[in-house]
Amino acid sequence: MKRIAVLTSGGDSPGMNAAIRAVVRAATYHDLGVYAVDRGYQGLIENRIRPMSARDVGGIINRGGTILRTARCKAFMETEGRAQAAANLKSHSIEGLVVIGGDGSYRGAQALDAEHGIRCIGLPGTIDNDIGGTDYTIGYDTALNIAVEAIDRIRDTAESHERLFFIEVMGRDSGYLSMMSGIAGGAEEILVPETPTDIPALVEKLQHDRRKGKRSSIIVVAEGDDAGRAIDVAHMVSETSEFKDPRVVVIGHLQRGGTPTAFDRILASRLGIRAVEALVQGETGKMVGIHGKSVVLHPLEEAWTNRTLFDPSLIQVAHVLAT
């Protein structure tokens, strides 16, 4: 192997730049030519491929987002699109590709490998922390800390005005980020898609808390909760109880931007280096992850067949702490 490329795909996450930096510098260390693909799989189809050097990634480890930019590409889901992408890689004599993204990005990498023999290694870049094969994904720790800080700030005003707040946390159809931020933020209730939401029971809990003397409450709602978004839950509570004036805060994309934490920078650096080593060793169709203290390789399909879930015992932890 003489040349490899790196791209970011899907939703951005803090630490992606640290991963890009690690891939470029590890490739340089192993005397490989390294290329950047701008705008993910869309850029691959459009031949937005350019060489990079170790100096090109200086000063980016602390930056959020991705300097390579990202895009969702419907054309890459078609056979013709993947054929064009593979042809563009081969025109640059690129034999291996590092894909930084989530399980959808991994599916694209798997297809590129199977159909065109482009060796692919995946790096888990998503704030949702729902990818199988790794304990933590790049960006999760930063997003968690941003969500907790937001909850802390909202609690100040909730207590000052004796209000009920519903705070919506991102995470797609996973409640991992919501559960952890709710516990760390001291939420009175945490609504996640992994468990059914009972609105009457929620109202009863709020009423019980008021009788005990609680004058404000924070309810964390995962964006994929079965009862709907935070605005929907707030409306149902308002319509069926005396809590007529709840406030709703959607943290949203604030969780995806900003300076990555030290944890995410180190994780991205370790995984990025291992991805390059895997390509040098002839691996393909694998993802790099962290298990305990060890960096590990798993088949790409592990990402969607064995998704990471929060420990169910945390539901009881949250219940006890909200007493």
Q: Which positions are catalytic?
A: 128
CA distances to 185, 231, 261, 293 from 165, in Å: 13, 10, 27, 38
Rounded CA separation 310/222 (Å): 13
Q: Which two three-digit tokens encode residue 140?
A: 């999760």
Share of the chain residues as helix, strand and coil, in percent rounded to the nearest 5: 45, 20, 35
Q: Which residues are 217's β-sheet partners? A: 164
Go through 1-12 and write b for each residue having 16 or more CB atoms within 10 A of its CB, e for each that does not.
bebbbbbbbbbb
What is the separation of C-alpha 126 from the centre of its chain, rounded to a whole number of angstroms? 2
Q: Which two three-digit tokens encode residue 254?
A: 């604030």
Which amino acid is it at 78?
E
> What's the DSSP call for residue 137?
-
Q: Helix or strand or coil: residue 155?
A: helix
Q: Which residues are 167's β-sheet partners? A: 220, 249
Is residue 288 within 8 A of residue 99, CB to CB? The reply is no
Of the candidates 272, 196, 303, 306, which has an alpha carbon nearest to the alpha carbon of residue 18?
272
Q: Which two three-digit tokens encode residue 108?
A: 């694209």
Of the candidates 80, 28, 140, which has an alpha carbon nearest to the alpha carbon of residue 36?
28
Is residue 168 within 8 A of residue 223, CB to CB? The reply is yes
Radius of gyration of the chain (CA): 22
